[in-house]
Amino acid sequence: MLHSNQTYRIMIVDRSEVARSIISHILRKKLSNAYIVDFGSAEEALERLEQEKYDLITTALFLPGLDGLDLCHEVRNSEKQYLTPVVVVSSDADRRLLREGFSAGVTDYFNKSLGYEKLVEFISDVLQRHAGLVGKLLYIEDSFTHAQNTIQLMQNHGLHITHLSNAEAALDLLKQPRKQVLQQFDMVFTDFFLSKDMSGGDLLYAIRSQLHFSQQELPVLVITIPDNDCQADIFHAGANDFITKPLIEEIFIARVKSLLLVRQQYNIIKRYSREMYQLSTTDAITRVKNKKYLLKEGTKFIKKYPQLCLLIIDIDQIEDINHEKGHLEGDYVLYLVAQTLMSLFARKGLVARFFGKHFVVLLPDYNLDSIIDIAEALRKSIAALEPDKIAITASIGIASSEERVDYRLEDLLVDADNVLRIAKIEGGNVVCLYTTDNNYCLLARSDVIEPFRQ
């Protein structure tokens, strides 16, 4: 928790005066003693940074003159400010931030589209992390007296400790599901010499070679005795750092804090990579997955569900709508159809925009009889939409994995696309099924509209 009676010195850098004003106003409400300054350019900010020390700096990515990453570079090169957390605030973050941001010294980033209230919560969290130690340690030490003293020292600094007296028990604990381990522990702190069969060095080797936790994912600090010739082996085994007995509190806490920051940085990069992948695999207009995602994840989907059907859905009237009503109306129709597909199939299947006016749906565990009924009901549901009183219909091509062996996603896509073209030749608003004897089955239109409900 942040101390309400502590003064936090915060600098806000954003070219928008309105944005600076809103952030400052909400921060002052949340942190009554906050000292806040704001600037519209990196140059103005750097001039003030030469005069005063700050607890946190937020900056937009795009600024007039020097940009946010340039500002961060300058902060890290400053004798006075080099440890100050810098948060990049942007709704336009791209791969450049991932590629260059953290090497520039960015502490964290925030997606501005989440809103200013969330930004202030985020700033409070960053201040808390950097105001003191926040972390969960797995501590392995077989000396009861030494362990008690060290645990008390760490708890005095706000750390949460799980103590075990032997490496065997620690290894069993770390063999839990990976996600569970990383939720429980931010780092491992172990004595190199332990009394049972398994030493701290053995545990360290197992963490890196057997469990495959990287140095950034699960940092390890090793404690050893002075003037010991095993110190090179400690690093070779995969330790991030070591410290010698007796512990000197200031040095020990500094090293723990350094490794906790390594883990925090890892979590930030992992989160950012995940969000960038989400953006790169989501269609901007329809908000469903795109072709890139389909081709990558569809192959995994087939391995997971060998019995499945693939539908290609083509919106028949998009070109006419774009010509007569405009592309915005055409985009709205695409969005509406995409959301209909998501509402019907997202729970059990995979929905993606393939290209243009074509969507693909992968559905597991359906036979040909059931998928024909589903596709026909879907066709009627799309015809029932009538967005802004515009009549729309869809043609649907179906391919199934039935009676196939060693097939690929591309095989189903080609076959479904072939019969979709037949459906279009027949005038559209029909369902056409590919059969494994290289033939096809064309389903006649029905004048009765019965929207599909799954």
Domain with residue 353: its CATH number is 3.30.70.270
Q: Which of 136-140, 193-197, 322-326, 383-387 has the highest mean pLDDT?
A: 136-140
Which three-class secondary structure state does DSSP give residue 358? Answer: strand
pLDDT computed for residue 449 by the predictor: 34
Quick one: 126 and 161 in the same domain? no
In this predicted structure, the answer to whether residue 271 has a pLDDT above a threshold of 90 is no
Mean pLDDT of 210-232: 87
Quick one: 253 and 395 in the same domain? no
The CATH number assigned to the domain holding 111 equals 3.40.50.2300
Quick one: 335 and 391 in the same domain? yes
The domain of 121 spans: 9-131
Q: What tokens does 228 get?
A: 């010991």
pLDDT computed for residue 440 by the predictor: 62
pLDDT computed for residue 446 by the predictor: 43
∠ CA 399-400-406 to the nearest 5 degrees?
Answer: 110
Q: Which of 49-58, 86-95, 361-370 has the highest mean pLDDT?
A: 49-58
The answer to whether position 2 is within a domain reads: no
- C-alpha dihedral sign at 216, 125, 127, 97: positive
Quick one: 39 and 157 in the same domain? no
Quick one: 148 and 117 in the same domain? no
Quick one: 313 and 328 in the same domain? yes
Quick one: 273 and 332 in the same domain? no
Quick one: 172 and 295 in the same domain? no
The answer to whether position 38 is within a domain reads: yes
Distance, CA of 191 to CA of 339 (rounded, Å): 56
H helices of 6-51, in order, are 17-30, 42-49
The answer to whether position 101 is within a domain reads: yes
Rounded mean pLDDT of the chain? 87
Residue 126: band (very low, low, confident or very high) from pLDDT cuts 50, 70, 90: confident
pLDDT computed for residue 20 by the predictor: 92
The count of domains in the chain is 3
pLDDT tens for 424-441 read 988 899 999 887 666 666
The answer to whether position 317 is within a domain reads: yes
pLDDT computed for residue 447 by the predictor: 40
In this predicted structure, the answer to whether residue 331 has a pLDDT above a threshold of 90 is yes
Rounded (10°) angle between helices 144-156 and 249-280: 60
pLDDT computed for residue 361 by the predictor: 97
Quick one: 108 and 191 in the same domain? no
Give the distance between the most distant pair of CA atoms in the chain.
89
In this predicted structure, the answer to whether residue 253 has a pLDDT above a threshold of 50 is yes
Q: What does pTM read for this prediction?
A: 0.64
Residue 97: band (very low, low, confident or very high) from pLDDT cuts 50, 70, 90: low
pLDDT computed for residue 223 by the predictor: 92
Quick one: 302 and 427 in the same domain? yes
3-state per-residue secondary structure call for 267-327: HHHHHHHHHHHHHHCECCCCCCECHHHHHHHHHHHHHHCCCEEEEEEEECCHHHHHHHHCH
The answer to whether position 452 is within a domain reads: no
pLDDT computed for residue 152 by the predictor: 93
The answer to whether position 285 is within a domain reads: no
Quick one: 254 and 180 in the same domain? yes
pLDDT computed for residue 281 by the predictor: 92
